[in-house]
């Protein structure tokens, strides 16, 4: 009797496993669902045209304009210690910095590499509301680093490079990384750190500690040149890579026309530098760029830039009949729901860098959109997509869908129900907010601060967005 019971139990287990597998294969990957939580106990810090950087659970806010748009907010580094599951309230202070820092500015970029923040470009601003004159822009190629370890500003050595600009995008990677163990894949190639613990007997796993700010790459793309008769410079289609170790700029292939707009966003996923420009998506494979820098080569000329790769424009679809419009100034981050599944997240869009004089500016928006990316190789997500293709099911690769979200109110209660109601009471319509990936923040996928509402009011609050896995 026992063998029969065992056999039946085995059949039942196999059937349950089969049902679970089928359910997993058929479970949709879009739309994503997320929860919004307002950052409570933080400062009243109205900002627009600023940047937000997340390092080790702390949010670093720099630059931009305050509620008085006639002058720069300040040149302070505002630090917000974000809440965790153990500590619900935030902490806030202004960093005491050392060294000469950059002049006041707005619409610059801040790129995190390791424990450092790299500031490039932006529109120089007067530090006084009584002065109509703006500060002088930085020379071409000037990039500033701020160490969150020593709170020290450092301008990079003068190096010929890209013209200063506004409305551009930037992204960073720690590659080429001399500390990476030889013969072991790094995050550049796989997006996943080695899982095996280091072996002290293996000299490949040992490396001398590098001084802060000694390696990595900052990518800068597009934007608009400073100046111009109408205060709006020409649209730029160039792309550059700054090698931190050598302090050299390398010119990359130019952006194709659909991507060459001001107010675009950029992020790195694996070996691809993704750019989203008013709903158009493209990418550049950066492996050759990293290899070029790792070999210590000199920067290329514009004619040689094509040897470093070619931009690809992606033909996107929509999973729910909705897709981002021709907005600019939206925040772009990459997120994962695990198992090798990755997305681009676009939020807080509107019209910040309008191209046509007198063109009607779209309202600020409270929508969040997700674009599903190809899965990581040999991951569970890749297996699922292969099976879906076998049974003629859409994998949703390169499809947009609006994120369905709920929010946590001031009492800490999660408000669910009608989605439109949740949006109205959630983060509200805003454009030009500063957005950063919250990978080191307990429970948060994305952190957002400031921006402007439909009436042009500068907003002073922050939100954490947590994407469901």
Q: Please report the pLDDT score of residue 229 as a whole number.
A: 54
Q: How many CB atoms lie within 10 A of CB 178?
A: 11
* Residue 178, token pair as written in the block: 């001399």
pLDDT tens digit sequence for 129-177:
444 456 788 999 999 999 999 999 998 777 789 999 999 999 999 998 8
Q: 324 pLDDT band (50/70/90 cuts)?
A: confident
Q: Please report the pLDDT score of residue 436 as a whole number.
A: 96
Is 26 part of a structural domain of the chain?
A: no
Q: Please report the pLDDT score of residue 17 as a whole number.
A: 37
Is 8 part of a structural domain of the chain?
A: no
pLDDT tens digit sequence for 390-414:
888 889 999 999 999 887 766 667 7
Residue 463 in 3-state DSSP? strand
Which residue intervals of 186-280 are DSSP H helices? 187-190
Q: Residues 21-45: what's their mean pLDDT? A: 79
Chain-wide mean pLDDT for the chain?
Answer: 80
Residue bearing the bigger pLDDT, 113 or 454: 113
pLDDT of 382 over the 70 cut:
yes
pLDDT tens digit sequence for 348-367:
877 666 554 344 555 677 88
Please state the domain count of the chain.
1
Q: 3 pLDDT band (50/70/90 cuts)?
A: low
Q: Residues 51-65: what's their mean pLDDT? A: 95
Residue bearing the bigger pLDDT, 390 or 304: 390
- Sign, CA dihedral 60-362-318-366, equals positive
In which residue are the tokens 């991951």 written? Answer: 379
Is 16 part of a structural domain of the chain?
A: no
The CATH number given to whatever domain includes residue 424 is: 2.120.10.80
Q: 426 pLDDT band (50/70/90 cuts)?
A: confident
CA distance 104 to 109: 13
What separation, in Å, do the N-terminal and C-terminal C-alpha atoms of the chain show?
43
CA distance 284 to 255: 9
Is 46 part of a structural domain of the chain?
A: yes
Q: Which of 173, 80, 70 lies closest to 128, judged by CA?
A: 70
Q: pTM for the complete prediction?
A: 0.85
Residue bearing the bigger pLDDT, 200 or 60: 60
Lowest mean pLDDT among 167-176, 182-191, 198-207, 250-259: 198-207
pLDDT of 209 over the 50 cut:
no
Taking every pair of C-alpha atoms in the chain, what is the biggest distance, in angstroms?
A: 94
Residue bearing the bigger pLDDT, 261 or 205: 261
Is 94 part of a structural domain of the chain?
A: yes
Residue bearing the bigger pLDDT, 325 or 377: 377
CB 224 within 8 A of CB 235: yes
Q: Please report the pLDDT score of residue 127 as a whole number.
A: 62
pLDDT tens digit sequence for 94-107:
999 999 999 999 99
- How is 289-350 classified by DSSP, letter by letter? HHHHHHTTPPPPPTTTGGGG---EEE--EESSS----S-BS-EEEEEEEETTEEEEEEES-B
Q: Which long-range contacts (CB under 8 A, 24 or more apart) does 317-320 make?
A: 317/398, 317/399, 317/400, 318/399, 318/400, 318/401, 319/30, 319/31, 319/372, 319/396, 319/399, 319/400, 319/401, 320/30, 320/31, 320/401, 320/402
Highest mean pLDDT among 69-83, 131-145, 240-254: 240-254
CB 366 within 8 A of CB 429: yes
Q: 21 pLDDT band (50/70/90 cuts)?
A: very low
Q: Residues 60-68: what's their mean pLDDT? A: 89
Q: Residues 67-88: what's their mean pLDDT? A: 79
pLDDT of 319 over the 90 cut:
no
Is 30 part of a structural domain of the chain?
A: no
Residue bearing the bigger pLDDT, 326 or 209: 326
What domain range includes position 314?
Answer: 36-467
């Amino acid at each position: 009797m026992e063998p029969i019971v065992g056999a039946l139990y085995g059949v039942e287990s196999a059937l349950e496993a089969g049902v679970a597998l089928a359910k997993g294969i058929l479970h949709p990957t879009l739309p994503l669902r997320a929860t919004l939580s307002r950052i409570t106990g933080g400062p009243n810090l109205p900002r627009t045209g600023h940047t937000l950087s997340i390092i080790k659970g702390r949010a670093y806010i720099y630059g931009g304009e305050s509620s008085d748009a006639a002058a720069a907010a300040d040149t302070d580094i505002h630090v917000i210690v974000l809440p965790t599951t153990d500590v619900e309230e935030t902490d806030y202070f202004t960093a005491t910095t050392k060294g000469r820092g950059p002049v006041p500015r707005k619409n610059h970029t801040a790129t995190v590499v390791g424990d450092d923040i790299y500031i490039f470009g932006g529109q120089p601003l007067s530090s006084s509301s009584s002065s109509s004159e703006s500060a002088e822009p930085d020379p071409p190629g000037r990039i500033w680093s701020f160490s969150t370890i020593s709170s020290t500003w450092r301008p990079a050595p003068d190096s010929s490079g890209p013209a200063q600009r506004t409305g551009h995008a930037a992204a960073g990677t720690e590659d080429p990384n001399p500390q990476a163990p030889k013969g072991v894949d790094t995050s550049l190639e796989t997006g996943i750190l080695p899982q095996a613990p280091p072996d002290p007997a293996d000299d490949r796993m040992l490396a001398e500690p590098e001084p802060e700010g000694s390696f990595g790459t900052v990518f800068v793309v597009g934007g608009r040149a400073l100046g111009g008769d109408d205060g709006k410079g020409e649209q730029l289609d160039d792309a550059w890579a700054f090698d931190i170790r050598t302090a050299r700029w390398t010119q990359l292939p130019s952006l194709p026309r659909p991507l060459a707009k001001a107010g675009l966003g950029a992020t790195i996923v694996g070996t691809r530098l993704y750019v989203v420009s008013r709903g158009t998506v493209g990418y550049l494979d950066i492996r050759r760029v990293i290899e070029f820098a790792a070999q210590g080569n000199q920067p290329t000329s514009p004619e040689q830039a094509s040897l470093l790769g070619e931009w690809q424009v992606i033909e996107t679809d929509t999973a729910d009949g909705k897709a981002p419009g021709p907005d600019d100034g939206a925040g772009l981050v990459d997120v994962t729901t695990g198992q090798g599944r990755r997305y681009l997240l676009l939020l807080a869009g509107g019209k910040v860098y309008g191209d046509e004089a007198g063109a009607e500016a779209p309202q600020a928006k409270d929508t969040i959109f997700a674009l599903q990316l190809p899965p990581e190789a040999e991951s569970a997500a890749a297996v699922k997509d292969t099976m879906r293709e076998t049974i003629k099911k859409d994998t949703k690769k390169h499809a947009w869908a609006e994120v369905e979200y709920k929010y946590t109110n001031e009492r800490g209660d999660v408000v669910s129900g009608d989605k439109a109601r949740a949006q109205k009471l959630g983060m509200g319509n805003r454009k030009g907010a500063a957005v950063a990936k919250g990978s080191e923040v307990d429970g948060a996928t994305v952190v957002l601060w400031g921006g402007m509402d439909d009436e042009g009011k500068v907003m002073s609050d922050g939100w954490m967005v947590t994407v469901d896995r």
